[in-house]
Structure 1
Amino acid sequence: MSVPQVRRAVAALRGHAGRVNCVRWVRRRDGGELLEFKLCEIFSCVQLVKSIPLKGHTEAVFAVDAVCQSDEPDFNVLIASAASDSTVRIWSRHGSEAKCIEILQFGNGFVMDVCLSFLPGSDVFIQFQKVLILPGHEDWIRGVEWAVCGEDLFLASCAQDCLIRIWKVCTKLKQLPETEDDSIKLKENIFTVKDADTSYAVSLESVLAGHENWVYAVHWQPSFSKDGSIQQPMRILSASMDKTVIIWEPDKESGVWLEQVRVGEVGGNTLGFFDCQFSPDGSMIIAHAFHGALHLWKQATINKKEWTPEVVISGHFNSVEDVKWDPEGEFVISVGFDQTTRLFAPWKRKEETEVTWHEIARPQVHGYDLRCLAMIGRFEFVSGADEKVLRVFRAPKNFIENFSNVTGIPMEKLCSHVSMLKQFLILIGDMAVQPDEDEESFNTISNQYPEIYFQPLILTEPPPEDHLLQNTLWPEIQKLYGHGYEIFCVACNNSNTLLASACKASKKEHAAIILWSTSSWKKLQSLSFHNLTVTQLAFSPDDSFLLAVSRDRNWSLWRRENSSESGPVFTCCAYTDKNTAVHSRIIWSCDWTPDSKYFITGSRDKKVIIWGQCDLSVITEGNGLDSIKPCSTVLDAGDSVTAVGISRVLTPDGRYIVAVGLESGKIILYTWKQSGKEPTLADWTTGVEIDNSQSHALAVKRLCWRHHAGRAGHNDENSSKWLQLASCGADHCVKIFNVNRFAL
């Protein structure tokens, strides 16, 4: 089976209401289908992709296995599911019907894993009746898996005693007659199966000791045999909390199982591997780490014992709270409750035409859940977390060089402007290095990273997980103190001169917005109006206004005045209160139209409203903003609105493109244009509702349009056709959508 070089997400299987605990392929000779588990609030069940719910467990389901009874098109499938209700349920599925045929009770026992298989020379499934207990492990058994080798059946088990045990099951008739010599013999456990004449012998084949911590998973290399014979070497893959994955193989002469390959992590802040798998042809292995990351290694073509890290899909492993495009639209940065800041960029393999997105840097690894960020120019950002401090980060020179290598964007273009060149020079250390200084000084890395912690990399492709963990951090150049509680939102104006931030608040004095200077990092002003947490901030594209929306169900609009040494920078010029408010629930999100004439708000009350001076004839220079009111009819989105975003590029007929994200995970694209002095429902047009398989599984947290037309990483002949929308959600995902603006 050939393995495609382009690795990307091809589908999202939705339907679960809670965390997915386990996935398994149904084992059959001509292919497979995916099984998933879901954890529900009231009950747990197993669900097939074909939407056949198997309900019955009263607690969370944690392990599953399935195997086909025949190779017929309308095949029968036997499924075993283990749950924390101390039962294993056996299900039979035929076509579109499925039912529970047996329940195995384990008292107060907690079943960690299940695996089904045929007995040698029999159509009887093991685990239907209790026939044997195999003692040996001295701690919890975390994984089991069967493998067929000719007429014999092998079972591999792993446990928290750091050991792997291999058991052999064969028919008793096959055993050699007993002899009277002094050779060492392993104890055999004999059992028979009801309604079957054959007896079976189980013996301990080998004990594998090599891991130094709990062994969480053990898997056999796939054989793809049609006649019961092994077509590939008999090998075992194991994953452990000791941060290693080991390939085991029996010696050809002695038959003793030996460690052949060991890969894993060195250092870092991870806690080991939970699971692992072989690729179908055994040339690649993948492992799942404690912190949610996938690790992929590929076998060298010449030296078969050499395995090298490969590019793999990566992402957040908890809710993603915010995402932003860089000003030039070449990459996105996101933050989440997994306490990391991640940078994703498009990449195209050599001799490949498809562009895929990959994580190429992890600028920040924090000790608190991250909630918001804002870009300050192209290679600088500020982030806010569940602490009272804002932190500012700036890219090291090494990142910009690698970004150029990976994306193919020339360094000259990245540093084309004088201001960018000055920033680029600052990136390499605490003090700017002038162009006429020596080359050695120019190429040093920031002094904030001693070499023991930070090793500059030369990359031509996205880095593997171990490098992302340690060698792609950005130096922290500033901390901003001033808020009394956890930071909740932050925004930067378009000229990159001002920051606005707000924190969690239950009183007016704590809900104040703080303005900061990005040149001196000094606090400029405190804007007090709201009574509860300000949920989002947005500067108008022309930097004339600052918009704030809050949990108190109101918005406030602040106008920039001619600043002086003693005077304020912004003054409140419009707002809603209990008498004028339209929203009846928390306002979660807001954004501006590209011409700065209108702004949009989205609320938990399912309402989306566009605000501005509705009588276009009275908009004159210096005109007051007292007339700001809804310029659109209230758009009922059908669910709680958690994110809104307006594209800076209009439709060909001059309509604004509005993206609305819902608590259900759906994203809907609308177009809007004021057609008269009075708002009408006809002003709104539904463009596209993102397909259920492509939308988020949980609440959409943020929507952010690329500032200009075109697709990052593509050389589109007609770039004006495409727009790109970045979204992030509570389902741990960051998504990039290509939108054809001519189709809206």
Structure 2
Amino acid sequence: MDMLLAFVSSLGDQMPFWWGTMKDFFTSITDKINHLNSSSVAPCAQIKTHSHAVSALVEHDGIIVTGSSDMKLKLWNLPELDNTNESSGGLILEFTQKQVIDTGKRFPIALAMSKLPGTSVQLLAVGLTDTKIRVFVASGSQFAEAAVLQGHEDWIKALDFSLLYTAEDGISYITLASGSQDGTIRLWDIRQAPEAVDKPTKGDLDDQLLDAFEASLGEVGAEETGRQISMKQHIVKVTDGERAYNFHITLDALLIGHDAGVTDVTWMPSPNSRILLSTSVDSSVILWSSSDSTSQIWTNRYRFGDVGGQRLGGFVGGLWVDANQAVAFGWNGSFRRWNYVNDQWHEVQAVTGHSAPVHGIDWEPSGRYFISASLDQTVRIHGPVEDRWTEIARAQTHGYDCIQACFLSDLRFASISDEKVARVFDAPGAFVRLASVLGLRSTDEDVSARPVAANVPPLGLSNKALSEDNVEQSVNSLERAPYEAELASVTLWPEIEKIFGHGYESISLAVSRSKALIATTCKATTAKHAVVRLYDSQSFKPFGTPLEGHTLTITRVAFSKDDEFILAGGKDRTWHLWKRNEDGGYSNFIAGKGHARVKIWDATGDQSKLQKPLANLKMEQPATAACFSSIQSDGRILMAIGLETGEVQIYASELPFEQWKLMLRFPPNVTHIDQIRQLAWRPSPEGLFLASCSDDGSVRVMEITQ
């Protein structure tokens, strides 16, 4: 096995993972969607490190450092990647604990590691839940505290060491950047001292007096928090082999530019390019640089993001893809990316997606795009753009968790959330124009009768329509898929109707194949509320009487392909089937008990055919979703089954559909990692595509070739 890359990660659940990649790892983030060839990624080890959640983690030169809310730092030796020690899941690595450092009553929230210039001595910077930076240096096999850097007035949230720089005088040095919740960034210069210091000198006493004086100034001018500057030189003495070195750490610059707390700092990965990227909860990204390699004057060269706003908590972090690409990511899981081209920075397409479990998906009637609803309180529309699936609209941004969304037509959908009403939305003119530009619709449609866009008023829950006079020109001028900032602000669909009827929060939603009826269910603890309510999709008025039979919450409702039947399953461990009458209404046809298997039934005749299932499939794990495809050209029908573990399996059968054969089992590294919520085959003759959504927060589209 060829080991090309390895990395370490943590979910904050006490167990960091060490990942290894074997071959064909990835095409890189520059491919816009960050497509992973995940068949080559496998976890090598899972380490039980702490008794509480992991709060910080860093790896450098064979050492992993983990910090936790159990008030401890733990250092681990990274084993050699032995290619002969393999298993079916990848490598098996055994980590040995190197050292434990007690951090008292504070826990680590930021870590960074490097080497002292010109030596092999490792350096560790630690930011705890206070205002100080602890600097540790390796002494033999252990790390010892060597200096405490003060100046920030709030918690240090980010630390990063620069690459090794060489000044004009030939002296090599590194710079430690620290970002704090006080909104400032401090740069600490670390270089070899010109002379050895064996004992305190008058200069040290002067430094102590200067620090005391500056502290007294801070007490007098408390309103200038985070702005106090100390020029004290912190002396660090180390031994590398048989040679002793003295280094000093001094404050090089204080960077002020963010309007709120700094969340991340990271140096450009380019030798002798002193450019620092910083992100903040003020929704901005700033690139800082000095005029030359020796200057202590740092300036704000470029500023990205949303100036003057704090959308959705701002940015939580940032990184460099390379010297010409920068990425920032937010609390809601979104990414924004900028490219440096022709001496200018330009925003380009980045990764988007839900940030919470996704409970519902549905295809547009002709399969040109699909919709997804998530507990992150958004409903999003995704379509194929330049041979990849991309979010093209964020149609609903709600104040309640979104449960399900279904298309009523190609430009209208209904959705339910954790509330008692269902809502209906109609596409604005801006979406119709954008879909035409992206090749998803015809280009000759008249949109003059449609509102241009929509917005959500302050303290409101409903998307209100906007006319041409009330929107920015940029809404109608998009010639590409929207970026994250545009998705969150200008791609909403106006709400045209609310559907009332249930007494408790909605649970399930379905639309008939003819798009004439809407079916909804709600939470229920009695038979009175455990009903399926039908509505006309044109007038949005109740259709017929509620369908009774269940005694507890109905968790899923669905129409048959010909709308002849309505099927529902509930928490009362029963399923009910209603059949259409001559007058168009539905009446109870048959009911059955719940089971722990996948059973296929014949509903083409009378009740006698439903007394016994056609087939009975026993799954290795509980099945949580299933979906039939249309009949294929070879006469077969496909059934996709989603499991509680996130796995998807494809079965095939021919008439009379009594024998089902497992055709395909999606490998775990290309499918979901949590419970499958819904599966949906694409209603398109152009290939065989299956969409899936899961509690892992992702939506996936798989193309299946036979």
TM-score by length of 1: 0.77
Q: Which residue of 2 aligns with 1:404?
A: 436
SS at match of 1:473: coil
Match of 1:284 in 2: 325
Identity level (%): 29
Q: Name the counterpart of 1:191.
A: 236
* Structure 1 contact 220–234 (Cα < 8 Å) conserved: yes
CA shift at 1:236, angstroms?
0.5
Q: Greater shift after overlay, 382-391 or 143-152?
A: 143-152
Distance 1:454 1:323 in 2: 31
Residues 356-396 of structure 1 deviation map (CA, whole Å, 9 limit, x = unaligned):
11101000000000011111011110000000010000101
* Residues 649 and 665, structure 2, Cα contact 8 Å, conserved in 1: yes
- Residue in structure 2 matched with residue 38 of structure 1 by the alignment: 11
User: Does structure 2 retain, via aligned residues, the 8 Å contact 1:490–1:499?
Assistant: yes
Residue of structure 2 equivalent to 1:273: 315
Q: Is the 8 A contact 1:159 1:214 kept in 2?
A: yes
> 2: CA distance between counterparts of 1:202 and 1:367?
49
Mapped to 1, the partners of 2:683 and 2:75 lie a distance apart of 54
The runs of 5 or more residues in structure 2 that have no matched partner are: 21-42, 81-92, 124-135, 137-142, 167-171, 204-228, 454-463
1:646·1:658 contact (CA, 8 Å) conserved in 2? yes
Please list the CA deviations of residues 118-142 of structure 1 after superposition, one character each: whole Å capped at 9, or x if unmatched. 1112111123211111111111000
| Contact 1:448–1:475 under 8 Å retained in 2 | no
Q: Are 2:130 and 1:114 aligned?
A: no
Instruction: Provide the C-alpha distance between the structure 1 equivalents of 2:697 and 2:645, rounded to a whole number of angstroms.
Output: 14
- Pair 1:192–1:175, CA change in 2 (3 A): closer
| 1:559 and 2:586 aligned | no
Task: Quote the offset at 1:86 in angstroms.
Answer: 1.3
Whole-Å Cα distance in 2 between the matches of residues 448 and 512 of structure 1?
A: 40
The reply on whether 1:81 has 2:66 as its aligned counterpart is yes
Aligned length in residues: 604
Match for residue 697 of structure 1 among 668, 673, 677: 673
Secondary structure of the 1:80 match is strand
- 2:303 alignment counterpart: 262
Amino acid paired to 1:145? D
Q: Is the 8 A contact 1:573 1:626 kept in 2?
A: no
Shift of 1:33: 2.7
Q: Aligned residue for 1:243?
A: 283
1:208 counterpart (246, 252, 255): 255
Instruction: Map 1:431-450 onto structure 2 (within 5 A).
Output: 446-447=465-466
The CA deviation at 1:168 is 0.8
User: CA distance change for structure 1 residues 328 and 133 in 2, over 3 Å: closer, same or farther?
Assistant: same
* Mapped pair 1:317 → 2:358: no
> Given the alignment of the two structures, is residue 569 of structure 1 paired with residue 590 of structure 2, yes or no?
no
- 1:214 is displaced (CA, Å) by 0.5
Q: How far apart in 2 are the matches of 1:528 and 1:388? A: 19
Residue 551 of structure 1: how far off its partner (Å): 1.4
Partner Cα distance (1:46, 1:696) in 2: 18
User: 3-state DSSP class of the match of 2:99?
Assistant: strand
SS at 1:404 equivalent? helix
The alpha-carbon distance between structure 1 residues 670 and 62, as it changes in their structure 2 partners (threshold 3 A), is same
Q: CA deviation at 1:98?
A: 2.4
Paired residue for 2:153? 138
Distance (Å, rounded) in 1 between the aligned partners of 2:195 and 2:328: 38
Match of 1:296 in 2: 337
Pick the aligned partner of 1:665 from 643, 646, 655: 646
Match 2:187 to one of 162, 166, 169: 166
The 8 Å contact of residues 54 and 99 in structure 1, kept in 2 or not, is answered as no
Against the structure 1 CA distance between its residues 385 and 661, is the aligned structure 2 distance closer, same or farther, given a 3 Å change threshold? same
CA distance in 2, matches of 1:480, 1:265: 36
Structure 1, 313-322 or 531-540: larger mean CA deviation: 531-540
Taking the TM superposition and a 5 Å limit, the aligned residue runs for 1:213-224 are: 213-223=260-270
3-state SS of 2:600 partner: strand
Match in the other structure for 2:60: 67
In structure 1, C-alpha distance between the alignment counterparts of 2:558 and 2:617, rounded to whole Å: 21
8 A Cα contact 1:454 1:471, kept in partner: no
1:425 deviates by: 6.5
Tell me how far 1:52 sits from its aligned partner. 2.3
Structure-to-structure mapping, 1:86-101, within 5 angstroms: 86-95=71-80, 96-101=93-98
Kept in 1: contact 2:679–2:690 (CA 8 A): yes
Q: Which amino acid aligns with 1:575?
A: A
Change (3 A) 1:471 1:429: closer
CA distance in 1, matches of 2:473, 2:526: 43
1:399 partner SS = helix
Corresponding residue of 2:458: none
Correspondence list, 1:488-499, <5 A? 488-499=507-518
SS of the aligned residue for 1:398 comes to helix
Letter paired with 2:589: C
SS of equivalent to 2:661: strand
1:482 partner amino acid: G
Aligned-partner residue type, residue 330 of structure 2: A
Partners of 1:634 and 1:509 lie apart in 2 by 33
SS at match of 1:55: coil
CA displacement at 1:219 relative to structure 2: 0.7
1:548 maps to a residue whose letter is: A
SS in 2 for 1:115: strand
Question: In 2, are the aligned partners of 1:427 and 1:446 still within 8 Å (CA)?
Answer: no
**Contact 2:337/2:348 (8 A) holds in 1:** yes
Q: What secondary structure does 1:328 align onto?
A: coil
Is 1:506–2:487 an aligned residue pair? no
Counterpart Cα distance in 2 of 1:268 and 1:33: 35
Shift of 1:47: 2.7
Residue 485 (str. 1) matches residue 495 (str. 2): no
Superposition deviation, residue 92 in structure 1: 1.1
Residue 29 of structure 2 corresponds to none
SS in 2 for 1:407: coil
Change (3 A) 1:174 1:661: farther
What secondary structure sits across from 1:270 in the alignment?
helix
CA distance in 2, matches of 1:194, 1:174: 15
TM-score when normalising by structure 2: 0.81
Matching residue of 1:343? 381
Deviation of 1:450 (Å):
6.9
Q: Which amino acid aligns with 2:574?
A: N
* Corresponding letter in the other structure for 1:172: A
1:457, distance to aligned residue in structure 2 (A): 2.9
Q: Tell me what 2:457 maps to.
A: none
Partner of 1:542: 562
How far apart in 2 are the matches of 1:116 and 1:469?
Answer: 37
State the distance in 2 between where 1:675 and 1:254 align: 81
The one-letter code of the counterpart of 1:635 is L
What is the rounded CA distance, in whole Å, between the counterparts of 1:174 and 1:244 in structure 2? 42
Which residue is equivalent to 2:210?
Answer: none
> Which stretch has the larger CA shift, 358-367 or 81-90?
81-90
Deviation of the 1:446 alpha carbon: 4.8
Distance 2:55 2:627 in 1: 39
Task: Please report how far the alpha carbon of residue 691 of structure 1 lies from its aligned counterpart in structure 2 after TM superposition.
Answer: 1.3
Conservation of the 8 A alpha-carbon contact between 2:391 and 2:481? yes
Match of 1:464 among 480, 483, 487: 483
Q: Match for residue 450 of structure 2?
A: 427
Structure 2 counterpart of 1:129: 144
Provide the alpha-carbon RMSD of the alignment. Answer: 2.6
Task: For 1:134 and 1:31, locate their aligned partners in 2 and report how far apart those are by CA, in whole Å.
Answer: 37
Partner of 1:395: 427
**Partners in 1 of 2:519 and 2:536 — Cα distance?**
9
- The structure where strand makes up a greater share of residues is 2
Where 1:132 maps in the other structure, the secondary structure is: strand
Q: 2:19 aligns with which of 48, 52, 58?
A: 48
Q: How far, CA to CA, are the matches of 2:471 and 2:431 in structure 1?
A: 18
| Counterparts in 2 of 1:131 and 1:446: CA distance versus 1, 3 Å | closer
Contact 2:602 2:614 in 1 (8 A): no
CA drift of 1:157 comes to 0.3
